[in-house]
């Protein structure tokens, strides 16, 4: 997919970020989240909430009361791969990402990707 010629905004940005997060999860976890939604909170906090993210192996580990191991592994992976998530948001929004926070929850099965955006460039 080629980079947009202009930064996206509004609902176009939210839809594109959601699609990008789903694609990244599909690519690296080999399954798409069951649900995904992105919202812009204020002018600078982009939040993508993904539901139904765990693989069958992770679900089995959680059933065996190894949820903390699953969470730690996911956190380490997200930390190692953050440049890919940040790169997509920067490409789509045309803004720098100042901070990226990724976390997941067991019961309900969900993950959240937070991006603190830098100021918009004046036109």
Q: Please count the CA atoms within 13 angstroms of the CA of 51 that sit on its side-chain side.
A: 7
- Residue 91, domain CATH: 3.30.70
Show the domain range for 47.
Answer: 10-117
Q: Would residue 3 count as lying in a domain?
A: no
SS3 5: coil
Task: Return the DSSP state at 3.
Answer: P
Domain for residue 87, yes or no? yes
One pLDDT digit (tens) per residue for the chain, 123 residues: 445 468 999 999 999 999 999 999 999 999 999 999 999 999 999 999 999 999 999 999 999 999 999 999 999 999 999 999 999 999 999 999 999 999 999 989 999 999 999 998 776
The tally of domains found in the chain comes to 1
Q: pTM score, two decimals?
A: 0.90
């Amino acid at each position: 997919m080629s980079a947009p010629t202009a930064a996206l905004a509004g609902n176009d940005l939210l839809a594109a970020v959601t699609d990008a997060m789903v694609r990244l999860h599909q690519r690296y976890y080999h399954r798409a989240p069951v649900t995904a939604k992105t919202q812009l909170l204020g002018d600078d906090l982009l939040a993508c909430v993904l539901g139904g993210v765990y693989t069958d192996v992770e679900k089995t580990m959680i059933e065996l009361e190894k949820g903390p191991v699953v969470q730690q592994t996911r956190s380490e992976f997200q930390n190692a791969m953050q440049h890919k998530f940040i790169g997509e948001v920067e490409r789509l929004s045309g803004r720098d990402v100042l901070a990226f926070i990724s976390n997941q929850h067991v019961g309900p099965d969900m993950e959240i990707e937070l991006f603190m955006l830098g100021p918009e460039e004046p036109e």
